[in-house]
Amino acid sequence: MTQPIVVATDGSPAAAAAVTWAADDAVRKGLPLRIVHVLDRLPYDLPRYEIPDFEDRLSQAGRRILDEAAQAAREGRPGLEVTTELLFGDPAHVLRDQAGGSAELVMGSRGLGGFRGMLLGSVSANVAGHAEAPVVVVRATPATPHNEIVVGFDGSEESKPALVYAFEAARLRGCPLRVIYAYQIPVYTYAPVVVDDVEELRRVQEDFIRTELESWHDKHPEVETRLEVVCSHPVTALVEASEDADLLVVGSHGRRALTAVLLGSVSRGVLHHARCPVAVVRSKREAS
């Protein structure tokens, strides 16, 4: 059975942008699209202050949201298979379960329940840190097409699934892939920084990552790949690169991630500040 692309909607501007992004990606990948809306009864489930027919009202509103999203997804995309589903429960837990049977899960960066001024909602952060499938987080602000995919890669096993996803995304779009490798100079309190040592460190870092990427070039000769080695904090380098990207792809962990933290500091920082849609791709080891 073909796994669909699942997109969550709550009727917010970010969710509408997510539906559009997911529909386009479903067309590119030749996959069906399933649009889901999650109703959380908990805020309304107060026995002492029961609201007559509240569940029917919520369900009707949810179905209207789904119908509008399905109409938007089908518009201009003849042949796209679109289904909708109304679900109940805690949104973060429900969407994590939905991701388990999907090719990828797409969602807005902040829904109707988010706090004004926050770029990333708690549900988006929770799902991106736990979901088994790749999670794409889309902002409400319309993105300017740049015809480039950017991926963060540090040579670790945890970052390789992100590279796989990024190469496929670039292949399907027929656009270049920019690989960002960011490193930082170790700080020694009582030792001076020598320019020659800095240049040597840069050379070693670049040689290492070029060697790591050689096999990927051989597997994907049709994808134009550009390597960018940057002496900077990874979040800073990736956020800056996102300004000229159609999609930024990161792993959920890197070399310095703690195993107890399901969404690493780099991926979390990127999700908060990136200027384009962000795909968080977990390794099978993390998802198990």
Q: Which pLDDT belongs to residue 134? A: 95
pLDDT-wise least confident of 62-66, 183-187, 227-231, 274-278: 183-187
Give residue-wise pLDDT tens across range 120-145. Answer: 457 777 788 778 899 999 988 877 88
Interhelix angle 160-173/13-29, rounded to 10 degrees, is: 80
pTM: 0.85
Identify the residue with better confidence: 9 or 194: 9
Sheet holding 33-39, edge to edge: 82-88, 33-39, 5-8, 104-108, 135-138, 278-281, 247-251, 149-152, 177-183, 225-231
pLDDT-wise least confident of 6-10, 139-143, 214-218: 139-143
What single-letter amino acid sits at 161?
Answer: P
Expressed in angstroms, the distance from the first to the final Cα of the chain is 22
Q: Classify 118 as helix, strand or coil.
A: coil
Identify whether the C-beta of residue 85 lies closer than 8 Å to the C-beta of residue 34. yes
Give residue-wise pLDDT tens across range 224-267. Answer: 999 999 888 999 999 999 999 999 999 886 444 333 334 567 88
Domains of the chain as residue ranges with CATH: 5-138 (3.40.50.620), 149-287 (3.40.50.620)
